[in-house]
Structure 1
């Protein structure tokens, strides 16, 4: 299976609390980190892939801090395909590549797609980026992104897959915080978002 997520922001103390920008109602970053890891692993299995669309963590640009983040990422099931976010330094990504412990199946735990990737699933194209793109008029094409946290672009094809994204509220069942999204859920979000935007335009 393939999953999508963004903006995990491990160790980011300033985001804690019930704020409008990035609501994270946890007492401390240890609780937040553990919650994301647990909910991630309830869904993602060892042989799955997860596209992590940037902003992995917020730590000092130092090897000791990188090691702390790597310790959390090592607990996550699946292969992580990482697209660089604005809070992900190249030094950090190089650290992960150099210290990749690998998976039980012999594959690397991390792959890197730098600024973006394009994949096809169920006759849809997925442009995967950290920053949202303005694609113009498209058919069967989605831009999955992060970066804007609890904010939703008024374009149905732009779907924020961040762990604190408002698009998650369009799903019929609330996902536990930190759960990566499946392609079927992306399609469901698109349908609900498209219908909601069409209704607003008529009102």
Structure 2
């Protein structure tokens, strides 16, 4: 199976607490990290693929090797093959470090990397996976899955925020535990209900 997520911001202490931008009611980054890891692994199997649409972590040390080691240690605990699309907080140095310490899982690399975006297709639609929201204009059967804007949503029906802070998970029938990657079924339901919501408003 394939899943989607964004904006995990592991180790990002400044995001802790309740805010309109990124509500994260944790006392420590360790608590936040562990919650994401637990909820991720409750859904994702080792053979699944997760598209992570940017902003993996925000943790800087001198030397940078220490923070890179810490981020790698967290990512190795996450189930699945992870396809990273570079976010504005993801450094080239981190990507190089992860690639250098990559490992094979079931004959496939644990990590793979893209600078800008990826297109995937399922159930008669194309999905453009990017970190930043894209304004696609009037399109048919093309949806932009993105992160970056945390607890905000683009008021356009063709854009779906898949980040861990996304308010658009409210379109789902059941609350998704914090940090849980979204399945293709989740995405389809979010698209369908956002379309319905958009049509009612216009």
TM bracket (short chain):
over 0.9
Q: Counterpart of 2:109 in 1: which secondary structure?
A: coil
Q: How does 1:94-105 map to 2 (within 5 A)?
A: 94-103=96-105, 105=106
Per-residue deviation at 1:184? 1.3
CA distance in 2, matches of 1:185, 1:133: 20
CA distance in 1, matches of 2:157, 2:186: 14
Q: Counterpart of 1:126 in 2: which secondary structure?
A: strand
Q: Counterpart of 1:119 in 2: which secondary structure?
A: strand
For the aligned residues, what is the CA RMSD?
A: 0.9
Kindly provide the CA deviation profile for residues 18-40 of structure 1, in whole angstroms up to 9, marking residues without a partner as x: 11000111111000000000000
* Alignment partner of 1:72 is 2:74: yes
Normalising by structure 1, we get a TM-score of 0.96
Unaligned runs of 5+ in 1: none
Kindly provide the CA deviation profile for residues 35-54 of structure 1, in whole angstroms up to 9, marking residues without a partner as x: 00000000000110000000
In the comparison of the two structures, how many residue pairs are matched? 200
* Alignment partner of 1:171 is 2:172: yes
CA distance in 2, matches of 1:14, 1:176: 21
Indicate the residue corresponding to 1:45 in structure 2: 45
Per-residue deviation at 1:198? 1.9
* Displacement over 2 Å in runs of 4+: none
Normalising by structure 2, we get a TM-score of 0.97
